[in-house]
């Protein structure tokens, strides 16, 4: 699983777009967590820093969900 390879256990998602990866350091409360974040996946110039992140923006990495696969709750286009 990808999360075991680099320590980043979550995707950082905003408006259905994967912005990067995150490793939660501490869950502060029901709304925010302190996490290491890496903006930009698989890019050598990716920024790694600590930040407070809203918990709803953290999507756990799983074998079934990759950056190329939309989140199961993502809005689907209407016809």
Contact of 12 with 74, CB cutoff 8 Å: no
Distance between CA atoms of residues 53 and 56, nearest Å? 9
- Please, which residues have CB within 8 angstroms of residue 71's CB and are 6 or more apart in sequence? 13, 16, 59, 65
Which pLDDT value is given to residue 75? 54
Tens of pLDDT, residues 2-61: 434 568 899 999 888 888 899 999 999 999 999 999 887 777 777 778 899 999 999 998
Return the pLDDT at 4.
47
pLDDT reported for residue 55: 93
Mean pLDDT of 54-77: 69
33 backbone dihedrals φ, ψ, rounded to 5°: -135, 155
The pLDDT value given to residue 41? 74
Could you state, in order of their start, the residue ranges of all structural domains in the chain? 2-60
Q: What is the pLDDT of residue 43?
A: 73
Rg (CA), the chain: 13
pLDDT at 62: 82
């Amino acid at each position: 699983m990808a999360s075991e390879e680099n320590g980043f256990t979550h995707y950082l998602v905003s408006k259905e777009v994967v912005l990067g990866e995150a490793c939660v350091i501490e869950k502060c409360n029901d709304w925010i967590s302190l996490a290491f974040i890496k903006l930009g996946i698989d890019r050598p110039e990716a920024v790694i820093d600590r930040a407070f992140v809203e918990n709803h923006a953290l999507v756990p990495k799983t074998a079934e969900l990759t950056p190329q696969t939309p989140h199961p709750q993502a809005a689907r286009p209407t016809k």
